[in-house]
Amino acid sequence: MAQFGEVSLKVKRAILLDDKFTVAQIADLTGLKYESVETVIRRLLKEGILIKAEKAIPFQPKKGRPRQYYIFASEETKQKLKKEVEAFLLEEALVHPKREVPKNPHFVHANSLIQAAEKGERELTDELIKEIHINLKLAREYEEMITPNPEIAFAYIDFLQARLKYLKEEYEEGEKFLKSAKEVFKKYNMTKEEKEIEEFYRASILNPVLYEIEKTVEKRKYEQVLFKIEKVSSFAEELINPSEQKHLAKFFNIVKNLSHSAQTLKARNEKLEAQNRWLQSQNFLLSIEQQIAGEANQILRQETQISSFAITSAFVLGIFVGAKRAFTFGDKSSLIMPSEKIFK
């Protein structure tokens, strides 16, 4: 069976995708250096698998290397190369795939864009999301074409997909990608990558809730903390280490107890406020009664003053009338004071 080097395998898989190609096109597709691709193409020409296309090229670049197209010598040579590549890939698939982060340009670019969005350096616009989606799709197609066993490469891409889903707040879909990636890393005993997924999952759940709790506490709405905590009280067990579950459960119970106490205090405070409002209403009614009583007393004082004035006026008038009769008719009894007549 033929043995392929990494560069040779990438070039041969790439040229099988089309019937006609240039060295530059294969270099762009594989991410390899132009000289490396050219070396493989020359070897295939020498072996009689490829030949130069005889068709004239309508446009030649003014600078750089001339554009030369290559084609397979025949359909038989193409099928022969295809069978050799497939047989080699099948054999390679039986062994463990490479345990490294994909280095293809599409993966690298998508990762950089997602990191920028996570750090707040780039706004998550529709255009940015579209650009990330395109690069993730191309990264997956690239690994499927180039890597003999792309299972681990796909797991890294799934992790990027999950991070994008969480940025878009599509948590359910994001969790599916996380679980898929974690299962692959666990299968190949890649504990570092497993831990990264667990840390990302916890952070993606805890950070927003902790932010909400912080804002709730700043507003002194302590009783609402309980409802915030309930959002994170049901972690997926397979994504949390058993030792950490105990600590998280203890933390949640402490916060829940504090929130419950706050709810109790709030209920007591509301009861006291209700009693205070009732007392205020009673004070208001009492002030009205006092005002009415004061106005009544004032009216009584005014009536008393009027009565006194009337009695005095009648007394003076009686004296005046009696004096007038005495001088007119010589009736001295008319000079008797009205009070004397009353008590005589």
The total of structural domains in the chain comes to 2
Domain boundary among 201, 231, 249: 201
Say if 302 falls within a structural domain.
no
Separation CA 162–CA 68 (nearest Å): 42
Separation CA 23–CA 65 (nearest Å): 10
Query: What are 104-117's pLDDT values in tens digits?
Result: 999 999 999 999 99
Residue whose token pair is 């359910």: 172
Mean pLDDT calculated for residue range 28-47: 92
CATH assignment at residue 43: 1.10.10.10
Residue whose token pair is 């690298």: 108
Separation CA 88–CA 4 (nearest Å): 8
Say if 197 falls within a structural domain.
yes
Torsion, Cα 36 40 41 47, to 10 degrees, reads 160
Say if 78 falls within a structural domain.
yes
Say if 163 falls within a structural domain.
yes
Using CA of residue 298, residue 303, residue 306, residue 307, what is the dihedral sign?
Answer: negative
Mean pLDDT calculated for residue range 196-204: 87
Domain boundary among 93, 119, 146: 93
Sequential DSSP letters for 196-241 = HHHHHHHHHHHHHHHHHHHHHHHTT-GGGHHHHHGGGS---GGGS-
pLDDT at position 278 is 85
Domain boundary among 171, 201, 231: 201
Name the band, by pLDDT with cuts 50, 70 and 90, for residue 204. confident
Q: Are residues 134 and 191 in the same domain?
A: yes
Q: Are residues 120 and 83 in the same domain?
A: no
Distances (CA, A) of 9 to 22, 105, 244, 303: 17, 18, 45, 121
Beta strands in 25-147 (DSSP E): 50-52, 70-72
Would you give the end-to-end CA distance of the chain in angstroms? 159
Separation CA 75–CA 78 (nearest Å): 5
Residue pair 137/144 in contact by the 8 Å Cβ criterion: no
pLDDT at position 253 is 64
Please state the length of the chain: 344
234 pLDDT exceeds 50? yes
Query: What are 169-191's pLDDT values in tens digits?
Result: 898 999 999 999 999 999 888 99
Give the orientation angle of helix 171-187 with respect to helix 151-167, to 10 degrees: 160
Choose among 234, 163, 172, 229: nearest CA to 199: 163
Q: How many CB atoms lie within 10 A of CB 140?
A: 21
The neighbouring-strand residues paired with 55 are none
Say if 296 falls within a structural domain.
no
DSSP SS3 for 72: strand
Distances (CA, A) of 333 to 105, 317, 322, 336: 139, 16, 8, 5
Name the band, by pLDDT with cuts 50, 70 and 90, for residue 343. very low
Separation CA 318–CA 339 (nearest Å): 10
pLDDT at position 243 is 53
Q: Are residues 126 and 158 in the same domain?
A: yes
User: What is the share, in percent, of the chain residues with pLDDT greater than 70?
Assistant: 65
Name the band, by pLDDT with cuts 50, 70 and 90, for residue 167. very high
Q: Are residues 11 and 69 in the same domain?
A: yes
Say if 211 falls within a structural domain.
no
Q: Are residues 109 and 85 in the same domain?
A: no
Q: Are residues 75 and 162 in the same domain?
A: no
Q: Are residues 163 and 190 in the same domain?
A: yes
User: Whole domain around residue 75: which residue ranges?
Assistant: 6-93
The pTM of the whole model exceeds 0.75: no
The residues, ordered by sequence, that sit 6+ positions from 305 with a Cβ below 8 Å of its Cβ are: none
239 pLDDT exceeds 50? no
Say if 239 falls within a structural domain.
no
Say if 251 falls within a structural domain.
no
Residue pair 294/282 in contact by the 8 Å Cβ criterion: no
